[in-house]
Amino acid sequence: MHTIRNTLVVVDSQQPEDLILNRAKMIASATQSHLHLLACDKRLNHSSYLNDMQSALAQEGYSVSAQQAWHGSSHKTIIAAQQAEGCGLVIKQHLPDHPLAKSLLTPEDWKLLRYCPSPVLIVKTATPWTGGTILAAVDAGNSDIEHRVLHSGIVSHGYDIAELAGGTLHMMSAHPYPMLSAADPVLQLKESIQAFYREQCKTFQAEFDISDERLHIEEGSADVLIPYIAHKLKAALTVIGSVARTGLSGALIGNTAEMILDTLESDVLVLKPDDIINHLEELAAPPPSPSADAAASSWPYNHHNHRPHT
């Protein structure tokens, strides 16, 4: 979290700005990062709205720039700006999707979580992070090196945010139901499964000072248990990982991050494994010679103010 130098803040003139700007300012103050405001719209000109917001933030001492652009869809526009500005974090407010619309097409926020190379913070509530509970959700049953690195990122980001907010870090993992027919005897009993999962979490507990009371190992499906435990703990933020599935399997199956986006009652920070980030950065890279149409898809309003944050 402390390595973030540029943060992309997706703003919407139709929505109250206090919620998303409070999160952005808190992160910028802690990381000394530059804020780049982005309005995604191809029809209306938001230059006045962006200019007012940029001026207010600059007067508060933040380094800030602003842009309006459109590249065919909101998630493509956000990713294009994230790549162009070199942003290490995207912050976006989430609005619940209509159930019927969700069954017919993949919601834009799902696509953003799936294809954005950087971590994405989805702001959902006005619950203050200060003094609150931060929940880091991992899949402790997957102990290969890729998942261990992802889990370390999830817990370390949760730890950093808990530190800067003066909050309390909790860690959780869902485990499968026992299967008497399982080849591995560990998976045949609930007690042995829980013991295995707790053992897998000990390294993280030691490194990030997580007591046994703040480690939650529960039986069931992650997409059910993560919102349940977040609600039980009154979590202000839940940090999770995304496998970023693409193609037909991703469209049909989705992943936990997407499935719980509407049911979670907290803000959500979504991270990805390093190899997937590298792949997504390659996919998001612009072609060697961009067309005139692509260049024209951005409004001329792209104003920068690099006043250092104080």
* Domain extents in the chain: 6-119+284-305, 133-271
- Banded pLDDT at 62 (limits 50, 70, 90): very high
User: Could you check whether 6-119+284-305 and 133-271 share the same CATH topology?
Assistant: yes
186-206: average pLDDT: 85
Query: What pLDDT, on a 0 to 100 scale, did the predictor assign at position 28?
Result: 94
- Banded pLDDT at 90 (limits 50, 70, 90): very high
283-303: average pLDDT: 52
Q: Say which range, 47-51, 61-65, 95-99, 115-119, has the weakest mean pLDDT.
A: 95-99
The correct answer on CATH 3.40.50.12370 for the domain covering 133-271 is: yes
- Banded pLDDT at 181 (limits 50, 70, 90): low
Q: Check whether 266 has a pLDDT greater than 50.
A: yes
Average pLDDT of the chain? 83
Q: Say which range, 55-64, 172-181, 182-191, has the weakest mean pLDDT.
A: 182-191
Q: Say which range, 26-30, 113-117, 179-183, 304-308, has the weakest mean pLDDT.
A: 304-308
Q: Check whether 133 has a pLDDT greater than 80.
A: yes
Q: Check whether 233 has a pLDDT greater than 50.
A: yes
Query: What pLDDT, on a 0 to 100 scale, did the predictor assign at position 245?
Result: 53
Query: What pLDDT, on a 0 to 100 scale, did the predictor assign at position 247?
Result: 46
DSSP character string of the chain: -TT--EEEEEE-TTS-SHHHHHHHHHHHHHHT-EEEEEEE-SSS--HHHHHHHHHHHHHTT--EEEEEE-SSSHHHHHHHHHHHHT-SEEEEE--PPPHHHHHHS--HHHHHHHH-SS-EEEE------TT-EEEEE--TT--SHHHHHHHHHHHHHHHHHHHHHT-EEEEEEEEPPP-TT-SSGGGG-HHHHHHHHHHHHHHHHHHHT--GGGEEEEES-HHHHHHHHHHHHTEEEEEEE-----HHHHHHH--HHHHTTTT-SSEEEEE--HHHHHHHHHHHSPPSS--HHHHHTEEEEEEEE-PPP-
Please identify, in words, the CATH class of the domain defined by 6-119+284-305.
Answer: alpha beta
pTM metric for this prediction: 0.84
